[in-house]
Amino acid sequence: MYQRIVVPMDESATALAAFQEAIKLAKITGARLFLLHVEDISRSALAPVGLPGMEYIDYGESHEANVAHSKQYLHELSEQAVVAGVECESRVLEKFGGNAAKAVLEVASHLRADLIVMGTHGYSGFMHLIFGSTAESLLHHAKIPVLMVRHPEEDDDE
């Protein structure tokens, strides 16, 4: 069944829900997890805009501090996976702007992943227009299965 599962991560509750589902699947199938965070090095340009849904990002930090923070976050998650009995690796991919979905798909292809497990916020309307949808783009372009996970509390907020 699944041998390599890519899990794109940010620090949202939705991504954590996807991570937990990925651990469950990996335990059942014996798969190895690959946690991935795409660090947009141009994101500090958005600091004055103050977009909703991105409160977990500290735009005041330097790029190096953001990368170090992301690496530490993924390391902590990797340790949780190992404690749960799942092999896990993590990577921070630095990109300047561009399409996060494309970056995830490139990494998944390089790793010969069998599955992508990803959180989705399910934005619609204006929020979808502003943020686009990494999840939607993954679904349209992936050549492997993609499991989308929503955080239960986000369903209650709509």
CATH number at 94 reads 3.40.50.620
Bridge partners (DSSP) listed for residue 138: none
Burial of 120 (0-12, 13-18, 19+ CB in 10 A): buried
Residue 32 above 90 pLDDT?
yes
Of the listed ranges 46-60, 66-80, 131-145, the one predicted with least confidence: 46-60
Determine the number of helices (DSSP H) and then strands (DSSP E) in the chain.
6, 5
pLDDT value for 110 = 97
pLDDT value for 64 = 83
Structure-model confidence comparison of residues 8 and 44, the more confident one: 8
Residue 107 above 80 pLDDT?
yes
Split into its structural domains, the chain has a count of: 1
Structure-model confidence comparison of residues 127 and 135, the more confident one: 135
Of the listed ranges 7-11, 127-131, 144-148, the one predicted with least confidence: 127-131
pLDDT value for 136 = 79
Structural domain that includes position 61: 4-157
pTM: 0.80
Question: What average pLDDT does this structure show over 27-37?
Answer: 97
Bridge partners (DSSP) listed for residue 37: 92
